[in-house]
Amino acid sequence: MTDTFDVVAVGIGPFNLALAALADELPELRFAAYDAKPRFDWHPGVLFDWATVQVGFLADLVSLVRPTSRWSFLSYLVDRDRMYPFYLAERFHLPRREYADYCGWAAERLPSTRFGVQVTALDWDHDRALWTVRLREPAGARSVRARHVVLGVGTRPVLPAPLEAIGGDRAIHSASYLSQVDGWAAGVRHVAVVGSGQSGAEVFLDLLRRQRDRGWAVSWLTRTATFAPLDYTKLVLEYTTPEYMHYFHHLAPGVRDRLLAGQWQLYKGIDSETIDAIHAELYHRLLDDTLPPVRLYPATAVRDASRGADGIELSCDHADTGSTGTLAVDAVVAATGYAARPPALLDPVRPLIDWDDQGRYRIDAQHRIGTVPAVSGGLYVQNAELHTHGAAAPDLGIGAYRSATILNAITGREAFRLPKRTAFQTFGGVR
């Protein structure tokens, strides 16, 4: 017989893991979460030993909504017998590896998570008024039914078309950096990093630290005017709170798009600690003139890329002077971000979804994707609503709040009490 669930979550990243952790407190809710990966895995390509998460440890799976949950980060520390070392360390921002281990700890113990199971397609059963979720697992293909589905398939790496055309292991996205860099042969003499967000900065710093052993020159290019910092000032951080998220959602779509274009430093900048570490590495290099050159190119966009006789040629444009130039390198790491794209599993139900004029989901305040009236079951989404909910959408600090919002909507009650005031600012002007 086909299992029927109240909620099926597709994808088990931090956001749907938060959903599973909170749903664990609702025994009346039949809940299952599926992921094709064999185990929890979070950004392995940039899981540097020294990197930290850019939000505080309270932005775990549950604490900003349910701090007493057994799935909190503090519960993880107790289970790992690390509470006193953490207390004495006085850390607010966690090492990235520790955050990943915490999520893996929860994923292994939650009874609703199922890894090694791929969701291949979603259909709407009009007769039963249920979603049919088609699965592929080691034992074969099967289906389950669900009253509601929550998509948490994450965002996908965006590789510029010229670099994608080059392909191979010498033109890669930063998402696969650590799995590729050790395999680069001794013939790699010059590496370029394209893009200056946090991932680009960390890759550049790692390349600098490897330079003495590997002997490569390093170039770092960004089309922005500066290698800009993440804006981590307190009142600006209120733009990642639920209060601003609700305000943003009620704005006209064109206004939202305009605001997002100017808010990129809320989620695309470089944290000050990484900038300081890079500057320190560059300063120390002044004491050793035997190292290959390191160059930083602000306001420089890569227009095209091609394979040359000795490697890869990057055709570049400078924004201020209008000049053009060519940079010859042996490998390129594109730290060019991620994008939310509708997964192929939605293909059978695309006609049932309400798309905006740019081919994006229309999403309501409770993170439910708009569908035709005949579809009574909820189709919810996590971290694909930047265009409707603003800069908070990809922020780990909104994960527990969004998951609680979705579960409250599904249960039709306040299963989780949500904070009513989350910012000092009054958005929307004087009334």
pLDDT at res. 100: 97
One domain, residues 192 and 330: yes
pLDDT at res. 264: 85
Return the ∠ at Cα 416 (arms to 267 and 118), rounded to 5°.
Answer: 65
The alpha carbon torsion through 249, 252, 258, 262 (nearest 10 deg) reads -30
Residues 370-404: pLDDT tens digits? 999 999 999 999 999 999 999 999 999 999 999 99
Residues 102-111: pLDDT tens digits? 999 999 999 9
One domain, residues 318 and 275: yes
Q: Record the tokens describing residue 328, joined without a space.
A: 């010859």
One domain, residues 29 and 113: yes
Q: Record the tokens describing residue 93, joined without a space.
A: 């921002």
Alpha helices in 170-197 (DSSP H): 177-180
Q: Record the tokens describing residue 76, joined without a space.
A: 């993880």
Strand partners, 231: none
Would you say residue 48 has pLDDT above 60?
Answer: yes
pLDDT at res. 277: 97
Would you say residue 327 has pLDDT above 90?
Answer: yes
DSSP-derived 3-state class of residue 42: coil
One domain, residues 139 and 162: no
One domain, residues 320 and 353: no
Helices 14-23, 96-109: axis angle to 10 degrees equals 40
Q: Is residue 243 part of a domain?
A: no
pLDDT at res. 217: 97
pLDDT at res. 108: 97
- Do residues 153 and 36 touch, judged by C-beta distance below 8 A? no
pLDDT at res. 296: 98
Type of residue numbered 276: D
d(CA 301, CA 201) in angstroms, rounded, equals 16
pLDDT at res. 185: 82
Tokens 């980060």, located at residue: 73
Would you say residue 45 has pLDDT above 80?
Answer: yes
d(CA 26, CA 81) in angstroms, rounded, equals 28
Would you say residue 289 has pLDDT above 60?
Answer: yes
Q: Is residue 147 part of a domain?
A: yes
CATH number at residue 32: 3.50.50.60
Strand partners, 149: 8, 379
End-of-domain residue from the set 334, 355, 389: 334
Q: Is residue 41 part of a domain?
A: yes
Would you say residue 341 has pLDDT above 60?
Answer: yes
pLDDT at res. 167: 80
Number of structural domains, the chain? Answer: 2
Q: Is residue 257 part of a domain?
A: no
% of the chain with per-residue pLDDT over 70: 100
One domain, residues 21 and 47: yes
pLDDT at res. 186: 77
Q: Is residue 102 part of a domain?
A: yes
One domain, residues 179 and 142: no
pLDDT at res. 308: 78
Q: What count of Cα atoms within 13 Å lies in the side-chain half-sphere of residue 24?
A: 22
One domain, residues 114 and 214: no
One domain, residues 92 and 203: no
Domain that holds residue 198: 157-230+268-334
Could you tell me the CA-to-CA distances from 356 to 51, 63, 371, 378 in Å, in that order? 38, 34, 12, 18
End-of-domain residue from the set 304, 319, 334: 334
Residues 110-165: pLDDT tens digits? 999 999 999 999 999 999 999 999 999 999 999 999 999 999 998 899 999 899 98
Residue 49 — very low, low, confident or very high, per pLDDT cuts 50/70/90? Answer: very high
Would you say residue 1 has pLDDT above 70?
Answer: no
Tokens 């281990």, located at residue: 101
Tokens 């505080």, located at residue: 56
d(CA 407, CA 62) in angstroms, rounded, equals 13
One domain, residues 150 and 162: no
Q: Is residue 98 part of a domain?
A: yes
pLDDT at res. 299: 97
Would you say residue 267 has pLDDT above 90?
Answer: no
- Do residues 151 and 380 touch, judged by C-beta distance below 8 A? yes
DSSP 218-236: EEEE-SSSS-PBP---HHH
Return the ∠ at Cα 211 (arms to 210 and 216), rounded to 5°.
Answer: 125
Would you say residue 3 has pLDDT above 80?
Answer: yes
pLDDT at res. 405: 98
Q: Is residue 240 part of a domain?
A: no
End-of-domain residue from the set 304, 334, 364: 334
One domain, residues 189 and 324: yes
Residues 276-287: pLDDT tens digits? 999 999 999 999
Residue 208 — very low, low, confident or very high, per pLDDT cuts 50/70/90? Answer: very high
One domain, residues 324 and 405: no
Q: Is residue 260 part of a domain?
A: no
Nearest Cα residue to 123 out of 312, 347, 355, 422: 347
Residue 431 — very low, low, confident or very high, per pLDDT cuts 50/70/90? Answer: confident
